[in-house]
Amino acid sequence: MVFTKSRTNLEKGDYFLSKLVDFVLGFLKPFYSLCNKSVSFLAQSSIFIALICFMLVYFSFLLYDISEDFNLLLSSFFITFTIYGLDKVSNIKEDSINLPERAGFIYKYRKIITVSIVVSYISALYFSVLKNPYAVLVVHFPLFIGLIYSIKILNIRLKDITGIKNIVVSLSWTVVGTFMPLIVSFRPFTEILCMFYYLFIKFFINGILFDVRDIEGDRINGVITIPVFIGLKKTKNILLLLNSTLIPFITLSYLKGFFREYIFVLTFTIFYGYWYILHFCSGSRKIGKSIDILVDGEWILVVIIALIFTKKILF
């Protein structure tokens, strides 16, 4: 009799717990749906990647120990929106296989996106002109190199050569991140070189990871990226090796007295890099929006950690 009563109470407890879980999940579902739609919109519209460039340049200001200039930060935001907007409009065919949701979004709002690209470019130009001619040159570098990268010379495009895309994209991000703060205040050549190497390796790794995401669509379209050419396993090993070269960078920077206030943050980015290389090169999962958040979004996380670690913001 006592056993039966205890069992009945247990069943009642399980029933109420199950109902509580269903209630909580039902309550959170609209918020999850809203967050998912918001992330999709930000990524598909290029606003997210433009914000990433804003954060990257802001982090460069911190590393160089130069007071941030919001004209340059805004110019970085708008030129990135322009470049990635143009890229998405011109790559609808490839995206229809790799990223059908994004391709559908671009196709549906093509006119609005085209207008926003023009407005964004004018804004980037305006904020750079407010500073000085050097800012205009830095802002236009990604556009210029992207043009050279896409033009056919003797019926060959640099874009069609395996690995060139990764170098070009990495170089564009690296030049903006390295030289934008130097428009305000110059730094020793060795310090600039350290910054350039660090950013180039980070963006080269990240670019190849996005090729890992698109590997199936690229194979279908005959696009020979590094992961398509050498395979996933070798790609993973190369990326791990490249990430390991940032350890000597950290050591040299510390010995030279560069970025010492942020050595912990830079060390974190190396370990974080190991993690997401292994995560996205496992081959056991389909890569979706998570790569945008975890790889590109790294710079948002890095800035937050840097500000907290140096006590410039406290919660």
Q: What residue spans define the domains of the chain?
A: 46-219+226-309
pLDDT at 50 over 50: yes
Per the CB < 8 A criterion, the answer to whether 52 and 80 are in contact is yes
* Residue 214 pLDDT class (50, 70, 90 cuts): confident
In terms of pLDDT, which residue wins out, 213 or 174?
174
The sign of the CA dihedral 102, 104, 106, 109 is negative
- Residue 131: phi and psi, rounded to 5, are -85, -75
pLDDT at 106 over 80: no
Angstrom CA distances, 287 to 101, 147, 240, 294, 310, stand at 13, 29, 19, 11, 34
pLDDT at 247 over 90: yes
Highest mean pLDDT among 20-24, 113-117, 160-164: 113-117
Element (H, E) at 153: strand 152-153
In terms of pLDDT, which residue wins out, 231 or 151?
231
| Mean pLDDT of all residues in 228-251 | 94
| Mean pLDDT of all residues in 45-74 | 93
Predicted confidence at residue 144, as pLDDT, reads 83
Predicted confidence at residue 105, as pLDDT, reads 74
Query: Average per-residue pLDDT in the chain?
Result: 82
Predicted confidence at residue 269, as pLDDT, reads 96
In angstroms, the CA 169 to CA 18 distance is: 50
* Residue 88 pLDDT class (50, 70, 90 cuts): confident
Predicted confidence at residue 89, as pLDDT, reads 76
Predicted confidence at residue 227, as pLDDT, reads 92
Tens digits of per-residue pLDDT, 190-200?
Answer: 999 999 999 99
Predicted confidence at residue 24, as pLDDT, reads 46
Place of tokens 């229809």: 96
Place of tokens 């809203």: 34
* Residue 41 pLDDT class (50, 70, 90 cuts): low
pLDDT at 100 over 90: no
pLDDT at 27 over 50: no
pLDDT at 7 over 50: no
pLDDT at 16 over 70: no
DSSP one-letter code for 245: T
Give alpha helix (H) positions in 130-262.
Answer: 133-150, 164-179, 189-213, 215-221, 226-230, 232-244, 246-256
pLDDT at 223 over 90: no
Predicted confidence at residue 110, as pLDDT, reads 82
Predicted confidence at residue 284, as pLDDT, reads 63
Highest mean pLDDT among 39-53, 141-155, 289-303: 289-303
* Residue 219 pLDDT class (50, 70, 90 cuts): confident
pLDDT at 29 over 60: no
**The token pair that represents 305 in the structure block:** 């950690």
pLDDT at 181 over 70: yes
